[in-house]
Amino acid sequence: MTEQQATVQKGNGGRSGKRWFLPFLTIFAVLAYLSFRASFSLIGPLAWSALISFTVYPLYIRMRRRFFSRRSANLPALLATAVIVFAVLIPCLLGLFFAAREGVRLLDSTEELLTSMESSGEGAIATLLPEHIVSKIRPWMERYPTLRAYVRQTVARSAESAVDLVGSAILFLYYFSIITVANFFFLRDGHLIVGFLREIVPLPANESAAFFERTRQALQAVVYGVLVTALAQGAAGGLGWWIAGLPGPVFFGALMVFFALIPFLGTAFVWIPGALYLLLLGETTQAVILLAWGALVVGTVERVLKPIFISGGGKIHFFIVFIGVIGGLAAWGILGLFVGPLVLTLFAFLLENYRLMWRAWVGEQEERPGA
């Protein structure tokens, strides 16, 4: 084949590639849309599974290197998934069950309290508050019937939500199975998934490596620094709630976990009202114990664990974590607590790279002769 023939064939191949590009792009777009529609309902469970797998992945790697050959991936992934199921998912489901059950009991007690306020007898209110407190509350409830009706409606809506939560047990089991199966494949094939994403990210090799390293740092900072710290605070706060003799330690411990996830709110929004309630009952000793426990034990857990994890995650700026947690919670719910900081961290990383590239380009333009 002469050089001229090779050039003509190359040109025909280029024209052929251009001719097939539009059909390929059309088919790709249609299949991408259909794939998105098919998997859209699973985005939430798959995202949770990815977060859990990221947390357990170091354990999987140690288990595989120490007890299994490097060629064996199925068995260590299966064992790590079993650890996730029995040490993470099942305890979380049981905790949610007991918290919901205690929440329903508290709602029932509140309903009885409101009913007793409307009656002439003391009823259940005397079992919750002393007489001198009852005599102060009753005139307010009688003077403002709208307030009483609002509280009753709130209790009714909360009770209906609790019933709906119990009625969604099948949906929880469905998501549970999806998360479990996805955890196995994320653990076994996680390195392949990350390698594929590295290849399709439109960045140079060094920038792509830095991008994924920043992703790992952000996830580590948020998952360990926010979630693990919040769980530890909730467990410590629930224990202090039980020591103080207050009802519903599991429910209020779960509530402390929720408030601990939100920066600048914290568990004090739960244990301070609990201590005030004990003071109203005249239980000064228990109130002091709960206040001391919340300030010293629960507060120490946050002050010790959170800086360790966040600094270990590449010193992600706390303001980014704060904005990401608040904005992510409003945009995507509980999952946004982790997605929000991750998105903002990666955006800040790309913005910094753009700034450096822009400065380099401006410097090159200034160094050109005649510029």
From first to last of its 371 residues, the chain has per-residue pLDDT tens of: 555 555 545 555 555 556 777 888 889 899 989 988 888 888 888 888 888 888 888 888 888 888 776 667 788 888 888 888 877 767 767 666 666 666 566 666 655 555 555 554 444 444 445 555 556 556 655 665 665 565 556 555 555 555 555 555 567 778 888 888 999 999 888 888 888 888 888 878 888 888 888 888 888 777 777 778 888 898 899 899 899 888 878 778 888 888 887 766 788 888 888 888 888 878 888 889 999 999 888 888 877 777 776 655 555 677 777 788 788 878 887 788 788 888 888 888 888 888 888 887 777 777 776 55
- 114 part of a folded domain: yes
| Percent helix, percent strand, percent coil in the chain, to nearest 5 | 90, 0, 10
What confidence score (pLDDT) does residue 30 get? Answer: 92
Show Cβ contacts of residue 67 under 8 Å, excluding neighbours closer than 6 positions.
76
Same domain, 266 and 128: no
Residue 246 neighbours by CB under 8 Å, 6+ apart: 252, 274, 277, 278, 286, 290
Residue numbers of the domain that contains 332? 204-371
What pLDDT score does 121 carry? 41
Decide if 29 is inside a domain: no
Verify that 135 and 57 share a domain, yes or no.
yes
Residue 23 included in any domain: no
List Cβ<8 Å contacts ≥24 apart for 333-339.
335/44, 335/47, 335/48, 337/222, 337/226, 337/227, 337/261, 338/51, 338/219, 338/222, 338/223, 338/226, 338/227, 339/47
| 225 and 166 co-located in one domain | no
What does the pLDDT read at residue 8?
Answer: 45
192 and 208 part of one domain: no
Q: Which one of 196, 231, 250 terminates a domain? A: 196
The verdict on residue 54 lying in a domain is: yes
Verify that 232 and 92 share a domain, yes or no. Answer: no
pLDDT of 78: 87
Q: Does residue 365 form part of some domain?
A: yes
- Asked if 184 and 281 sit in the same domain, the reply is no
Distance of CA 63 to CAs 67, 191, 195, 220, Å? 6, 16, 22, 20
Contact (Cβ atoms closer than 8 angstroms) between residue 342 and residue 215? yes
Instruction: Tell whether 19 is covered by a domain.
Output: no
Do residues 257 and 114 share a domain?
Answer: no
Is the overall model pTM greater than 0.75, yes or no?
Answer: no
Q: Which of 171, 196, 221 is the last residue of a domain?
A: 196
Nearest CA among 295, 243, 293 for reference residue 266: 295
Write out the two tokens for 236. 């410590």
Asked if 334 and 355 sit in the same domain, the reply is yes
Number of structural domains in the chain = 2
The reply to whether 166 and 254 lie within a common domain is no
Question: What's the confidence (pLDDT) of residue 371?
Answer: 54
For residue 63, give the amino acid letter: M
56 plus 129 within the same structural domain = yes
The verdict on residue 78 lying in a domain is yes
10 Å CB burial of residue 318 (0-12, 13-18, 19+) is middle
Q: Looking at the domain assignment, is residue 10 inside a domain?
A: no
Angle between helices 205-222 and 318-332 (to 10 degrees): 80
What pLDDT does residue 31 have?
Answer: 92
Same domain as 227, residue 176: no
CA distance 80 to 76: 6
Where do we find the tokens 């004990």? Answer: 278
Is residue 52 located within the same domain as residue 132?
Answer: yes
Residue 142 CB: number of other CB atoms within 10 A?
11
Separation CA 163–CA 157 (nearest Å): 10
How high is the pLDDT of residue 20? 78
HSE (CB half, 13 Å, CA atoms) of 56?
Answer: 30
Which of 196, 212, 230 lies at the terminal end of a domain, its last residue? 196
